[in-house]
Structure 1
Amino acid sequence: MSEQQTEIRREPAEFLPGRGAAVADTLFRFQSLFGLVLVLVAAIVFSPHRDGELLFLTSDNLFNVVRATAEIGIIAVGMTFVILIGGIDLSVGAVLGLAAVGSAVLMVHDGFGVLPTVLLVLLAGLVFGLLQGIASAVFGIQAFIVTLAGLQIARGLARIWSGGQGVAIAYGDGPGEAPVTFSLLGERTFNGLVPIPAIIFVIVAALAIIFLRTSAFARHLYAIGGNEKAARLSGVAVTRVKVLVFGLCGLLSALAGIIHAGQLNQGSPNDGSGYELDAIAAVVVGGTALQGGRGSVVGTVAGALLLGVLNNILALNSVDPNVQLLIKGLVIVAAAGLQRLRPTP
């Protein structure tokens, strides 16, 4: 047998392992999309019927899923940026509560218009995040500790600002009433089908996806998460990038808080409790590695929708809330476990 024939026989044996690794990497990279499809199929199969119609597939229900996912989804987008650099932000739920309280107090008690209120609340979220980023990146305090303290600080500020109680938002032109325009955040458009929060979520996600795929700043995020020391030696301004990322996360948390106040017509210092865990869960289910350097906003959006669909179908079937928590926990652990099996690039 010739040497050329021997080489031809060997090629498939050398090719298949590389191809198998590529297929495995693709499966892990898009695990959230595959998971979302599976959950959607399960939701259709187990959906209750009413008048011969699947409740899950009604347009009202599907848009309600996206509306319910919008706030967590927006926060999760910011959390994705933080986790990509190997960080964590436990304060996002409390910042949402602070933003909701700020929105209510500024309009109802202080007579601010919608635009000044939105700008001031967003600025407050941005500054809060930047300060946490400075504490972590400049002073070297672990992000876990900084943001855990930030959670307490944001809750405390919200309670002080609101007097320790929820602030109801009534709409009108008189004193103690918020501008009617703000109520649009709780409304639907396109013939009453699409919730406004869902549109905002889609816009935020689309901008984040474009940003991560096209900007040099995004490449710095992945570089820092992959190997911070190598990124620093390569000329990446690591400290500045980290501070800005925490600022962005705070900004998006404040945006979610504004939407929250508009949907519930109130701002309470207890709003957003536990949202940080849901946001982290969406990011993890979305396939972003907790050690940083690997992940995408597309995966996070799919992860948030997966959890939203799961919540919805369990509620439609009147599953005990305690059992719902158990099922969600198992899904999150399974997603994290899959990441441990993902081949190292």
Structure 2
Amino acid sequence: MNTVAPDTSAPAENERRRFTIPERFFALQSYVALILVFIAAIVFSPRRGGETVFLATENLLNIVRATSEIGIIAIGMTFVILIGGIDLSVGAVLGLSATGVASLLMVDDYGVLPAVALILLMGTAFGAMQGLITAKLGIQSFIVTLAGLQIARGLARIWSGGQGVPLAYGDGPGHVPESFALLNSRTFNGTVPIPALIFLGVAVIALLVVRNTVFARHVYALGGNERAARLSGINVTRVKVTVFAISGLLAALAGIIQAGQLNQGSPNAGIGYELDAIAAVVIGGTSLMGGVGTVAGTIAGALLLGILNNMLALNNVDSNIQLLVKGVIIIVAAGIQAFRTAK
């Protein structure tokens, strides 16, 4: 009796057809948008001496340097949004961290490493506490981190007396060791800004975590369906606390970088940064509903915003128009997500 071998080609064919052209576009939307904005920046760039100002090496490196703080915060925000949460406190934590590290160095005569370690620990603990409250009390992260924003901003102003803390480099009490000035310097023969390298390092670590760890799979599972994730044995509380701790840690790191770049710590630093970080994540294709998105997309979204800001500034576009343009781009990105979900 002849038997018919099972047709194994059908699943393979279905696997190959899984990604349609629209789906591929949605998956690559942040990269397509980044390329389009980059081309537009070249086209509309002013010329000096026959050279395109935008394409000057110094200008491109300045874009990455200027993007580094938002990019670092946005990477942390990506993890939070992937679980279906939001962190509105990151800008205030940046301000608290910038103020704190400046105060520890200038007023309390801490060394650079102890001061940086303490501030990073503080940011991590602040984020972890917000995650714990969200997980244990069941309060929406929007509310918890909105309160965290107010708390962090208030602590920063109390810590500094409401004033910025300027940094003076030198030896002895009341001076900051010269090593901290590295955050405002460049390497590779004075070309690549140190903050850009830190941003790159954080991005690489985040990409490795997302692609190679069980933790990342738990993050996506939690964002896809929290109840199902809990029933499958995932420690939901641990994941939430860890995700918010990462967000707090990276916000603190961004605050330290800002203090080094501006040579001061201001309690008002980071106002509005949470919105730029969320914008980078949304433009990068991460769903605000959770469970869908990539760190790579967020990095592309942050760079897109950096290039856009640079392009508008080079053309002396009014700052109010700049806000309008960014708002339109965010709406378009969110609209694409809504259409993708509807499909």
TM-score, length basis structure 1: 0.94
- Is 1:67 paired with 2:68? no
SS where residue 292 of structure 1 aligns?
coil
Q: Distance between the aligned counterparts of 2:29 and 2:61, measured in 1?
A: 23
Q: Distance between the aligned counterparts of 1:30 and 1:128, measured in 2?
A: 34
1:265 to 256, 263, 268: 263
Letter in 2 for 1:107: L
Task: Report the CA distance between 1:139 and its aligned residue.
Answer: 1.1
Task: Report the CA distance between 1:22 and its aligned residue.
Answer: 2.3
Hey, what does 2:250 align to over in structure 1? 252
1:37 to 35, 38, 51: 35
2:227 to 229, 249, 262: 229
Listed as ranges, the gaps of 5+ residues in structure 1 are 1-10
Q: Distance between the aligned counterparts of 1:110 and 1:32, measured in 2?
A: 44
Hey, what does 1:313 align to over in structure 2? 311
Task: Report the CA distance between 1:20 and its aligned residue.
Answer: 8.4
Q: Distance between the aligned counterparts of 2:342 and 2:315, measured in 1?
A: 40
Hey, what does 1:238 align to over in structure 2? 236
User: Is the 1:21–1:343 contact (alpha carbons within 8 Å) kept by the matching residues of 2?
Assistant: no
Q: Distance between the aligned counterparts of 1:343 and 1:228, measured in 2?
A: 19
SS where residue 138 of structure 1 aligns?
helix
Structure 1 residues 64-108: Cα deviation after superposition (integer angstroms, max 9, x where no partner)? 000000000000000000000000000000000000001100000
- Where do residues 8-87 of structure 1 align in structure 2 (5 Å cutoff)? 19=17, 22-87=20-85
Q: Distance between the aligned counterparts of 2:18 and 2:140, measured in 1?
A: 38
Q: Distance between the aligned counterparts of 1:344 and 1:208, measured in 2?
A: 30
Q: Distance between the aligned counterparts of 1:127 and 1:26, measured in 2?
A: 39
Q: Distance between the aligned counterparts of 1:131 and 1:21, measured in 2?
A: 40
2:100 to 99, 102, 110: 102
- Where do residues 1-345 of structure 1 align in structure 2 (5 Å cutoff)? 19=17, 22-342=20-340
User: Is the 1:71–1:256 contact (alpha carbons within 8 Å) kept by the matching residues of 2?
Assistant: yes
User: Is the 1:33–1:302 contact (alpha carbons within 8 Å) kept by the matching residues of 2?
Assistant: yes
Hey, what does 1:4 align to over in structure 2? none
Q: Distance between the aligned counterparts of 1:117 and 1:328, measured in 2?
A: 36
Hey, what does 1:5 align to over in structure 2? none
Letter in 2 for 1:79: M
Task: Report the CA distance between 1:19 and its aligned residue.
Answer: 4.1
Q: Distance between the aligned counterparts of 1:209 and 1:318, measured in 2?
A: 36
Task: Report the CA distance between 1:280 and its aligned residue.
Answer: 0.2
Q: Distance between the aligned counterparts of 1:26 and 1:237, measured in 2?
A: 33
Q: Distance between the aligned counterparts of 2:78 and 2:341, measured in 1?
A: 21
Structure 1 residues 148-176: Cα deviation after superposition (integer angstroms, max 9, x where no partner)? 00000000100011111000001000221
User: Is the 1:98–1:158 contact (alpha carbons within 8 Å) kept by the matching residues of 2?
Assistant: yes
Letter in 2 for 1:83: I
Letter in 1 for 2:302: A
TM-score, length basis structure 2: 0.94
Q: Distance between the aligned counterparts of 2:229 and 2:17, measured in 1?
A: 30
Q: Distance between the aligned counterparts of 2:227 and 2:29, measured in 1?
A: 29
Letter in 2 for 1:195: P
Q: Distance between the aligned counterparts of 1:170 and 1:22, measured in 2?
A: 58
Q: Distance between the aligned counterparts of 1:293 and 1:343, measured in 2?
A: 12
Q: Distance between the aligned counterparts of 2:18 and 2:241, measured in 1?
A: 39
SS where residue 298 of structure 1 aligns?
helix
Structure 1 residues 130-155: Cα deviation after superposition (integer angstroms, max 9, x where no partner)? 11011101111110000000000000
Letter in 2 for 1:324: Q
Aligned length: 331
Task: Report the CA distance between 1:192 and its aligned residue.
Answer: 1.1
Listed as ranges, the gaps of 5+ residues in structure 2 are 1-9
Q: Distance between the aligned counterparts of 1:63 and 1:323, measured in 2?
A: 24
User: Is the 1:25–1:343 contact (alpha carbons within 8 Å) kept by the matching residues of 2?
Assistant: no
